[in-house]
Amino acid sequence: MAINRRSPSLLVGLQIDWDRVERQIEAPEFETRRAFRPRDPRTGRLVDLEDPVLLENLKHRLESWLANWQTSDKS
């Protein structure tokens, strides 16, 4: 994932769940190439990897950044 330096998300930073990443890598069914991943028997879609980005923390940080930005803009 590339993040532009002018993007506010760079200031926030992303938190990664490294335990989730390690768990996926060590799993016997782990496949990095999407085309070779197993298909969901119910939907027929390719099974995606778990997203290691902790979105709860990202949402909290973005809200905090936005609140600080709005108060600093008024002064």
Is the pTM higher than 0.95? The answer reads: no
pLDDT digits (tens, 9 = 90+) for 17-63: 889 889 988 988 888 888 888 899 999 998 888 888 777 776 777 78
* pLDDT for the residue numbered 3: 46
Separation CA 33–CA 30 (nearest Å): 9
In a domain? residue 63: yes
2: pLDDT strictly greater than 70? no
CB 19 within 8 A of CB 50: no
| Assigned domain for 64 exists | yes
| 1 is a domain residue | no
The range of the structural domain enclosing residue 49 comes to 16-74
Please state the domain count of the chain: 1
47 close to 9: Cβ distance less than 8 angstroms: no
